[in-house]
Amino acid sequence: MTHTALMERPRSGIVLAAMVLANLIPLFGVLFLDWDVGSLVVLYWSENLVIGGYTILKMLLKARGSERFLVLFFTLHYGGFCAIHGFFVLQLTRFAGENWGHAAAITWPGPLALIQMSINLAQQLLASAPREFLLACLALVVSHGVSFVLVYLGQREYEHTTMKDLMNAPYRRIAVLHIAIIAGGFLVVQLGSPLGLLVALVALKIGMDIILHNQSHAPRRQLAGSAAPSNGSPGE
């Protein structure tokens, strides 16, 4: 086993622990705070915004020269994607009340309107969410922050990724994870939101998070391991 692999093991364990702990908060909400499926689905949509924010930060640190334009493109495109996604999520769950869609006017020009819509959705969500829900959102911010610091910066993952990879990663995650969660959520609604299925939905999210984390960082570990004998750099 290479020195790099030995160094990465404890970091990966910390990242996974932070991820699981963040996901245990909604489990606590389901078991003791009467959270329903709408709360879970909205929370998992909120995670899209957290992931988008860290992706923009990663791209800003990675971009050189004309690549900085891709940061703006991703912000507009992903922001619009989240806005449309969030609109339907809040419309179906009524998490922010019956008249949430009329709370804020859209005044930004052109494609910036989708960014403003995402901001408005987040503001209305924060305004209507209970304190425990905000704690769950904060836990997601911390969890993804731990991954950013320990993996992207600490393991110098930025050296082995591309701007295209960074841009595509959030969409792949949404396609695999959130579509499954939302589909499962609507199944729970149809069955009357029994406690057992809500717990199963949280467990599904935790399991898929772990799988996606291991898959997304496996190429980096393999690349580092194969490169270590050739460069002889300590810790790499």
Q: What is the pLDDT of residues 72-125, one digit of tens each?
A: 999 989 988 888 888 888 777 777 665 555 556 678 887 778 778 778 877 877
Domain that holds residue 32: 3-230
Report residues of the chain scoring pLDDT below 50.
1, 3-6, 219-236
**Percent of the chain having pLDDT more than 70?**
83
Measured CA to CA, the distance from residue 138 to residue 170 in angstroms comes to 19
Q: How far apart are CA 212 and CA 176, in angstroms?
A: 9
Task: Provide the pLDDT for residue 224.
Answer: 46
What pLDDT does 47 receive?
Answer: 92
Q: Could you tell me if residue 236 is inside a domain?
A: no
What pLDDT, on the 0 to 100 scale, is given for residue 70? 95
Q: What's the structural domain count of the chain?
A: 1
Q: Is residue 235 part of a domain?
A: no
Q: What pLDDT score does 197 carry? A: 83
